[in-house]
Amino acid sequence: MADLNKLMENEAFMAFATYATIILLKMMFMSSATAFYRMTRKAFANPEDSASFGKGENAKKFLRADDRVERVRRAHLNDLENIVPFLGIGLLYSLSGPDLSTAILHFRLFVGARIYHTISYLLPLPQPNRALGFFVGFGDKELEKSHF
Amino acid sequence: MADLNKLMENEAFMAFATYATIILLKMMFMSSATAFYRMTRKAFANPEDSASFGKGENAKKFLRADDRVERVRRAHLNDLENIVPFLGIGLLYSLSGPDLSTAILHFRLFVGARIYHTISYLLPLPQPNRALGFFVGFGDKELEKSHF
Amino acid sequence: MADLNKLMENEAFMAFATYATIILLKMMFMSSATAFYRMTRKAFANPEDSASFGKGENAKKFLRADDRVERVRRAHLNDLENIVPFLGIGLLYSLSGPDLSTAILHFRLFVGARIYHTISYLLPLPQPNRALGFFVGFGDKELEKSHF
C-alpha cells in the first residue's frame, strides 16, 4: 500500500481527483434533469415509461419528443464528449509532474467552463455564452496536453 | 516495475479492475446488439449500409428508424452516461484504501444493477424494473464517492 | 513522487498514454467537424444557435436535421462507445506487465482502426470499409483483455 499512499499524497493527482469527481457528479445530475423534464412534461421514449400516465391511446400520446427534454439530452451528450477526454488527458497531465498551481488553474477552468456550458444550455442564455463555455473547456484540454 | 506490481497487488484496485472490465465488455455487447437488430430488421442509418440489401429505391426504404434498434441505442447511451462516472469514481474509491469487502459489495451492486437495467430495457420488463436498475447503479456511485 | 516517476518510466504505460492521447484528440476533432457542418450547412438544433443567421421565420428554417451533420454525430457517438472501453481496458492491460512490442502493436491497431473508421464514415467509403475499422478496433480490445 505504500506506493498507493504516495499516489494519494501527490497533490496534483489529488487536485485532479477532486475536480474530476465534481464534474462527474455534475454530469450525473443531467440524468436527473432528463427524468425531471420527462415526468413533468409527460414526454417519454418507451411505452413502459408512459404506461403509468394512462392506458391505451392515452399513454401513446406521451410517447413524444419534447424540446426541453431533447435540450437536456444534447447537453448531456456534449458533457460526455468533453468530460471523457478530460478524464484521460487530465489524468496523464496530473501524473506528468506539473506545477501544482498551474494544474489547479487548468482543472478549475475546465470545471468552471463546463458548468457555465450547462447553465447556458439549460436556461438557455443567448450565444455566444454556451460557445464560450465550450471553447474554454475544449481549449483547456489542448493546453494541458501541450504540457506533457 | 516494483511499484506497478504493488498496484496489481492492491486487492481493492484489482477488484475494481475486474468489475470495470466486466461492465465494459457488457457495454461493448450493446454495439453487437445494435448491429444484430439493424441487420435482422433491415433498419439502417447510412445509405452505404443498406446498399447490400437492394438497389436504388429498394435500398432507400431500409433507411429508417426502428423501435427495437432505437431501444438498444438508448440503452447503450444510458450505459455510457453511467459507466463513465463509475470508471472515474470507482477508480478513485478503489485507490482511497477502502475496506475490501465493502468495495467488492459496491462494485457488485453497480455491475449487477447495470446488467439488470439492460435486461429490463431490452426485453422490456414493465417499470419500475429498469428504474430500479438505474437508481441502484446511480446511488451506488454516490455512496462510493461519500467514502473518500 | 518516486513512485509516480516509476509509473512514467513504465514503457507500456507511456505507450498507452501516447496512443490514448492521440485517439482522444481525434475524438475531440469530431466536435469541430460537427460545428463546421452546422455552420456551413446552416443546420442547427437550438434556436439560440440559428439566431445570428436570421430573424423570426428566417431563423426557424435553420432548425433542421442535416444528413451530413447527423453522420458526423453518429461517428462521434460511435467513437465514444468504443474509446471509453479502450481507456479502461487499455489502461489495465498496460499495467498488467505486457510485452512492450505486443502492447504497442495493440495500441497502434486500435488507433489506426478508429482513424480508418472515421475516414470511412465521413467520406463515406462503401462498406465493408467502416465495418472493417469497427471490427478491428472492437476485436483488438477483446484481445488486450484476454492478456490479463
CB-based burial, C31-52: b 16+ in 10 Å, e otherwise:
bebbbebbeeebbbebebbbee
* Residue A102 is assigned to a structural domain of this protein: yes
pTM strictly above 0.95: no
pLDDT for res C4: 56
Alpha-carbon distance A80 to A53, whole Å?
31
Classify C81 as helix, strand or coil.
helix
Going by C-alpha positions, the residue among B46, B48, B44 that lies closest to residue B62 is: B44
Ranges assigned E (strand) in chain B:
none
Alpha-carbon distance B33 to A58, whole Å?
31
CA B68 to each of CA B27, B34, B38, B43, C73: distance values in angstroms, whole numbers, following the listed order: 17, 9, 9, 10, 20
Q: What's the rounded mean pLDDT across residues A72-83?
A: 96
* Residue B125 is assigned to a structural domain of this protein: yes
- B87 to chain C, any CB pair closer than 8 A? The answer is yes
- C119 to chain B, any CB pair closer than 8 A? The answer is no
Of residues A74, A126, A130, nearest to C51 (C-beta): A126
Structural domain boundaries, residue C23: 6-144
Counting the structural domains of chain B, the total is 1
Contact criterion met (CB below 8 Å) for B64 and B43: yes
- C49 to chain A, any CB pair closer than 8 A? The answer is yes
Name the pLDDT band for A19 (thresholds 50, 70, 90): very high
Q: Report ipTM (2 d.p.).
A: 0.89
Name the pLDDT band for A60 (thresholds 50, 70, 90): confident
* Residue B1 is assigned to a structural domain of this protein: no
- B39 to chain C, any CB pair closer than 8 A? The answer is no
* Residue C1 is assigned to a structural domain of this protein: no
CATH value at residue B44 = 1.20.120.550
Name the pLDDT band for B6 (thresholds 50, 70, 90): low
Q: Which residue of A has its CA nearest to B86?
A: A24
* Residue C113 is assigned to a structural domain of this protein: yes
Chains in contact with C, where contact means 3 or more Cβ–Cβ distances below 8 Å, are A, B
pLDDT for res B59: 76
Strand partners, B44: B63
Of residues B8, B31, B52, nearest to C138 (C-beta): B31
Residues of chain A with Cβ-Cβ distance to B82 below 8 Å are 28, 31
Contact criterion met (CB below 8 Å) for A49 and A136: no
* Residue B114 is assigned to a structural domain of this protein: yes
Q: What's the rounded mean pLDDT across residues B50-72?
A: 85
Contact A85 C1 (CB under 8 A): no
Residue C121 in grid coordinates: 464514415
Which of the two residues, C104 and B49, has the higher pLDDT score?
Answer: C104
Going by C-alpha positions, the residue among C125, B7, C119, C126 that lies closest to residue C137 is: C119
Tens-place pLDDT, residues C6-55: 677 789 999 999 999 999 999 999 999 999 999 999 999 998 888 877 77
* Residue B34 is assigned to a structural domain of this protein: yes
* Residue A1 is assigned to a structural domain of this protein: no
